Copies of this chain bind each other. A is one copy, B any other.
Amino acid sequence: MTDAATSSTKAPSRIQQRNRILILDAALEVFSRHGYRGATLDQIAKQAGLSKPNILYYFGGKEDIHVTLLNQLMKAWLDPLKEMNPNGDPIKELLGYVHRKLDMALELPRESRLFANEILQGAPRMGPHLSADLKPLFDEQSRVISNWMDAGKIARCDPGHLLFSIWATTQHYADFAAQTEVLLPEDERRQDGASAYLDQLFTKLLTP
């Protein structure tokens, strides 16, 4: 057999599991910093502590690794949005989403940067995913928000742009960390600062 990556046949061995995780973790680090074209297999190999040919034993190639990461990412990206409950308290639901997103950005900055890099480059490998997976969910949740507004439970605003602004403000703390770290003195950089501010921002917007 030439490729351990083909999950077609049988269960992966202990070593396979460990090394695939090692590789994906290293690749996440490198891709999220340099983008697809800027990343090299040698960097990934070094970061993973494996040789380059060994990496190509587990994955079909550079693109294969990148695609695998992007697929994993898409799931983690959509889940918090799905958790919004149409029957819950609207403001609580939306603020809950804001905080979930912020926590994700702060805890998984590499994933956030990987996503940002892909979109920055025009989403060459994730365009289809966006249309097929994100778009329907986006439309659905936009309608949920719209209904809340129709019911007078939250102030009226554009639901789409509302979601954009939630994404923008939360992911900013991961994607632009290099900037915020320069601008905010270390003692002001605690999570609660951002958390409290975003709470205030969106509470004021949504309160009727």
Q: Which residues in A have some Cβ–Cβ distance to B below 8 Å?
A: 33-39, 113, 116-117, 119-123, 127, 130-131, 134-135, 138, 155, 157-158, 160-162, 164-165, 167-169, 171-173, 175-176, 178-180, 182-184, 188, 193-194, 196-198, 200-201, 204-205
Contact = CB atoms under 8 A, between A and B. Distances in A.
A130 B182 contact: yes
Contact of A117 (B120, B134, B184, B193): B120
Given A127-B178, A130-B179, A121 B33 contact: yes
Copies of this chain per assembly: 2
B37 A34 contact: yes
Given A200-B205, A201-B165, A178 B119 contact: yes
Contacts of A158: 193, 196-197
A175 B122 CA distance: 9
Contacts of A198: 161, 165
Contact of A119 (B131, B157, B175, B201): B175
Contacts of A204: 155, 204-205
A183 B116 contact: no
A196 B205 CA distance: 13
